Copies of this chain bind each other. A is one copy, B any other.
Amino acid sequence: MDMLQMGQAILATQPFSKLLGATLSKFDAESTELRIAITDDLKQQHGFIHGGVLSYAADNALTYAGGAALVGAVVTSEYKINYVRPAIGQEIIARAWVVYAGKSQATCRCDVFVVNDGKESLCAIAQGTIAKLPSTTSAPSNE
Contact = CB atoms under 8 A, between A and B. Distances in A.
B56 A143 contact: no
Given A53-B16, A59-B52, A99 B127 contact: no
Copies in the complex: 4
A41 to B, nearest CB: 5
**Main SS class of interface, A:** mixed
Residue picked from A18, A19, A85, A102, most chain B C-beta under 10 Å: A19
B83 A51 contact: no
13 contacts: A13-B45, A14-B45, A15-B41, A16-B42, A16-B50, A16-B53, A44-B142, A44-B143, A46-B141, A78-B81, A78-B107, A86-B143, A109-B127
